[in-house]
Amino acid sequence: MEEKSTATLEKIQEAALAEFLEKGFQGASLRQIVKNAGVTTGAFYGYFSSKEALFNALAEPHAAALMGKFMEAQISFAELPEEQQPEHMGIESSDFIHWMVDYICAHREPVKLLLCRAEGTGYEHFVHNMVEVEVEYTMKYMEVLRRLGREIPMLDQSLCHIIASGMLSGIFEIVIHDMPRDQALKNVDQLRDFYTAGWLKLMGG
């Protein structure tokens, strides 16, 4: 019985992933998912309470993994002694970006679901939420540099938001364009170099 239940769950999730990827959450048809999975509507509701619950089941593990690793990189850098932070700048971000490329390439379809097909769900603002975190920690780092005696100009938070949004959106182009891993790694490294040079310029470097 357990094996049959697992097989049914997998059929529902496979059919849902295909339907959500093609039509997005709002355009996806629960009736079509059930039909393509070869199960009854009653069987579906034995596993999920709604279309959104089904979407969440597919997206949540990847949202948690990406945001969790992102927060870990931000916090581990911020917890370094202030005098060590400038010399570590870029190391943690490089490690995180390389991890993220590998993660995206290993889970392309559900990550695309999260980033590109989530309108109308609780994950609709996932990238925006990452940008907000990036801005918060960037502002904190600039304050650290000032305490260390660096002459850092006052940058408007809205500008920091634009820059962070451009950087993260650029990285997620990997998902949108299904880039091969080697090309993705090369592109994001060059993108990070581009933004690092820009930040140095803005910070008076």
pLDDT digits (tens, 9 = 90+) for 129-157: 999 999 999 999 999 999 999 998 988 99
pLDDT value at position 164? 94
pLDDT value at position 8? 92
Give the pLDDT band of residue 160 (cuts 50, 70, 90): very high
pLDDT value at position 91? 76
Q: Could you state, in order of their start, the residue ranges of all structural domains in the chain?
A: 1-49, 58-202
Q: How far lies 167's CA from each of 23, 76, 94, 163, in Å?
A: 27, 20, 13, 6
pLDDT value at position 205? 60
pLDDT value at position 95? 87
- Which of 126, 105, 104, 103 lies closest to 115, judged by CA? 126
Q: Of 1-10, 47-56, 85-94, where does the model show the most confidence?
A: 47-56
Q: What is the mean pLDDT of residues 81-86?
A: 92
Q: For residue 4, is pLDDT > 70?
A: no
Q: For residue 3, is pLDDT > 50?
A: no
Q: How many angstroms from the chain centroid is the CA of residue 198?
A: 23
Q: Are 116 and 129 in contact (CB under 8 A)?
A: no
Q: What is the mean pLDDT of residues 96-125?
A: 95
Q: For residue 47, is pLDDT > 70?
A: yes
Q: What is the mean pLDDT of residues 32-36?
A: 97
Least confidently predicted of 1-10, 122-131, 186-195: 1-10
CB atoms within 10 A of CB 165: 17
Under CATH, what is the fold of the domain 1-49? Arc Repressor Mutant, subunit A (1.10.10)
Dihedral sign of CA atoms 73, 77, 80, 86 in order: positive
pTM of the model: 0.90
- The share of the chain scoring above pLDDT 70, in percent, equals 98
CA distance 80 to 74: 10
